[in-house]
Structure 1
Amino acid sequence: MKPNFKNILLTTVLLLCSHGMSAQFLTASDTSESSVKRYKSIINANKEIVNFIEYSLVERGLPRHLRNLALIESHFDRKITSGAGAVGVWQFMTAHANQYGLTDQNRTDIYKSTKTATISLTNLYKKYNNWVTVVAAYNCGEGNIAKAMTAAGSSQYHIFSKYLPAETINHVKKYLNACYATGELQSVLSNYNSSRMNTVFFVNGGSGKDNSQLAETDINAGFNLNIIAEELKVDINKLLSWNPGIDEELQQKGESTLYLPTDLMPDFLLRKNKILSRSIKEGNTQGTKP
C-alpha cells in the first residue's frame, strides 16, 4: 500500500508537539490553596535560614528551588531528628554526612550542613542531569536509584520510579508540590524534559542490550530506523541489537526510547532533523530491512 505522506506528516507533527509533554504527569499532585499557603508560611517564618540557603545555592551555581528540598526534609528545623536517624535542616544520615567530611555533631550546623548539601547536590546532578532524580537519590540513596534503573531498563524517573520505595516517590511528589507553591514547578519540569533527550545509562547484560555504556533519547513514529542506521553509518542489525523491540513499540505506541552508544548519540542529535525529514520524504514505513 502506498503510504499517505500527508497523514504521516500530520502524525509526526502531532507527536513532536506532544513530545515535550510526555512526562508532564510529573506535576504537582496538590495545588490546593491550603497546600500553597502551608509551604509559603513555612518559608516566610524562616526567612533568615531561607536567605542563607538560597545565597549558598546561587554561589555554587545551583537553582534556588533546591531550598524546597530543605523545606520538605525538615521545615528548616535544624534540631529535628527523623525516626531513621537523619538530622538537621538537610536531614543528613551519618554515612551520607561522613562521606563529605561532615561530623555527626555538625549535622545541626546550618552553615556547615548547607555547604555539604550543595556539594552533594552538585555531585548528584553531574550524575543524573535532572533535579527530579536528584531529589529521589537524595532521599533513598544512589544504590536504590541504580537498582530501580536496572529493573526498569531506563534512566528516566517517570519509568523507573515504580521500583523505588513508596517514601521516595512521595518525597518527589512533595518536592513538586512545594515548587508549585513557590512558582518554580515549570522550571523543574523543563529541566527534567530537557535531560531526557540525552541521558547516559549503564545497561546491564540482563536487559537484552549490549553490556556497554549507552545513551538514550526519545523518538517517535516519524523516524525510520533504516534511515537512522544509514545516517549513522551503522548496520541495521547492530542498531536493533541496542534496541530490541523498538520496531514494534514505534508501530504500536507511536514513540519509543532509542539507545545508542554514547559516541554515536551526538551524531544522531546533530542529524535528527535531517533524519526526520528523510523519513517523511522517503516514506516512513516501519519494518526494518536487515
Structure 2
Amino acid sequence: MKPNFKHIILFTMLLASPFVNAQFLTASDTSESSVKRYKSIINANKEIVDFIEYSLVQKGLPRHLRNLALIESHFDRNITSGAGAVGVWQFMTSHANQYGLSEQNRNDLYKSTKTATVSLANLYKKYNNWVTVVAAYNCGEGNIAKAMSAANSTQYHVFYKYLPQETINHVKKYLNACFATGELQSVLSNYNSSRMNTVFLVNGGTKQDNGGLSETEINAGFSLKVIADELDIDVDKILAWNPGITEELQNKGESTLYLPTDLMPDFLLRKNKILTRSIKEGIK
C-alpha cells in the first residue's frame, strides 16, 4: 500500500492530536510557580536572550532552543558545573574542542553561542527532532547510540529508558520550559512529524533489519483482538510479530507494538477508534 497525499494529511493530523502527544511526551510540571520561575529568568536576562534568539534565527533554528541555555545555566556565563561544564551553554572541554571553541572561550557568550548553534544544527541533521537533540546535547551522541541499540529503536519515547536519569530529567525540564514559553506544542508537533517520517521511510521505520516492521507504543487499554479485527488480519500474526506483548501489557501496562510498514499507517489512522472500541468491548 502506497500512502497517497490525503492519507498523509490525515496521518499528520492524527500525530498532531493531543491524544498522541499525551501518550508519549508532555510537560511534567505546568504549575503556575514553574511558569513564573522560567519566565522571570528569561525577563531578567533579556539582552542575553535577545542575542541568543537572534543567533538561532540566523542559523535557521527555532527560538525555543533558547530554553536549552535556560535550563543549562539560567543564562549565567560564569557558571561551572560539578562535571566541569562552563558557560551559558555548559560546554565540556571535549565538546567545545570538537567545534573549535577553546577551553578559555567557553564562557564567552558570543563565541559559545555561535558554537552552540552549529552543534545544535548538526545534531538536528542527525536526529531530525528537537527532543532527541536536547537529550544528545546533554549526554552525548555515544549514549544516544547505546540507548537506541538497547531499545532497538530511534524514537525517544522508546529508547529514553536506557538513558542516564540526568538526561531524562533534562528533557523533562526542557519540555516544562517550553510549556512556560508557550512553545511546547511546536516541540511536540516536530517530534510527531519526525515519527511520521520514520513510518514512511523506504523499508519501513526503525526495524529495517526485522522484516520491514514499524513501531508505535500502545497501553493496556488496547485489545489485540480489536486491532486484528480493524486491520483485517489474524491475531496470531500480531502475536508472531510481537512475542511477549501480552505479558508486557499485563505487567507493565504498556508495550511497543510492531506491525508491517504497510499496515502501520492504517493502525495510526484508526488508533483512537481502536482504543475506544477496545475499552467498550472490555467492559462488556
**TM-score, normalization by structure 2:** 0.70
Contact kept, 8 Å, 1:80 with 1:87, in 2: the verdict is yes
Deviation at 1:33, TM superposition (A): 1.4
Tell me if 1:107 matches 2:114. no
For 1:218 and 1:50, locate their aligned partners in 2 and report how far apart those are by CA, in whole Å.
37
Aligned amino acid, residue 102 of structure 1? L
Contact kept, 8 Å, 2:56 with 2:62, in 1: the verdict is yes
Contact kept, 8 Å, 2:124 with 2:130, in 1: the verdict is yes
For 1:53 and 1:268, locate their aligned partners in 2 and report how far apart those are by CA, in whole Å.
44
Deviation at 1:71, TM superposition (A): 0.2
What SS is found at the alignment partner of 1:155?
Answer: coil
Paired residue for 2:86?
Answer: 87
Distance 1:119 1:216, change over 3 A: farther
Deviation at 1:175, TM superposition (A): 0.6
Deviations 1:74-129 (A, max 9, x none): 00011111010101100001111111111111111111111111111111111111
Deviation at 1:197, TM superposition (A): 1.7
Contact kept, 8 Å, 1:70 with 1:90, in 2: the verdict is yes
Tell me if 1:41 matches 2:16. no
Deviation at 1:198, TM superposition (A): 2.7
Aligned amino acid, residue 172 of structure 1? V
Tell me if 1:170 matches 2:169. yes
Paired residue for 1:51?
Answer: 50
Distance 1:37 1:18, change over 3 A: closer
**TM-score, normalization by structure 1:** 0.68
Aligned amino acid, residue 197 of structure 2? N
For 2:16 and 2:227, locate their aligned partners in 1 and report how far apart those are by CA, in whole Å.
11
Paired residue for 1:184?
Answer: 183
Contact kept, 8 Å, 2:207 with 2:213, in 1: the verdict is yes
* Structure 1: 5+ residue stretches without partners: 1-13, 204-208, 230-236, 277-290
What SS is found at the alignment partner of 2:27?
Answer: coil
Paired residue for 2:63?
Answer: 64
What SS is found at the alignment partner of 1:20?
Answer: helix
Distance 1:172 1:126, change over 3 A: same
Which protein shows a greater Rg? 1
Aligned amino acid, residue 180 of structure 1? F
What SS is found at the alignment partner of 2:196?
Answer: coil
Paired residue for 1:125?
Answer: 124
What SS is found at the alignment partner of 1:197?
Answer: helix
For 1:184 and 1:223, locate their aligned partners in 2 and report how far apart those are by CA, in whole Å.
34
Paired residue for 2:97?
Answer: 98
Contact kept, 8 Å, 1:201 with 1:215, in 2: the verdict is yes
Deviation at 1:28, TM superposition (A): 1.4
Equivalent residues, number? 241
Aligned amino acid, residue 123 of structure 2? L
For 2:174 and 2:56, locate their aligned partners in 1 and report how far apart those are by CA, in whole Å.
17
Tell me if 1:161 matches 2:160. yes
Contact kept, 8 Å, 1:197 with 1:217, in 2: the verdict is no
Paired residue for 1:20?
Answer: 20
Runs of 4+ in 1 over 2 A off after TM superposition: 14-24, 198-203, 212-225, 243-249, 251-260
Distance 1:61 1:213, change over 3 A: farther
For 2:217 and 2:75, locate their aligned partners in 1 and report how far apart those are by CA, in whole Å.
38
Percentage identity across paired residues of the two chains:
70
Paired residue for 1:144?
Answer: 143
Contact kept, 8 Å, 2:213 with 2:258, in 1: the verdict is no
Aligned amino acid, residue 115 of structure 2? T
Contact kept, 8 Å, 1:198 with 1:217, in 2: the verdict is no
For 1:36 and 1:123, locate their aligned partners in 2 and report how far apart those are by CA, in whole Å.
30
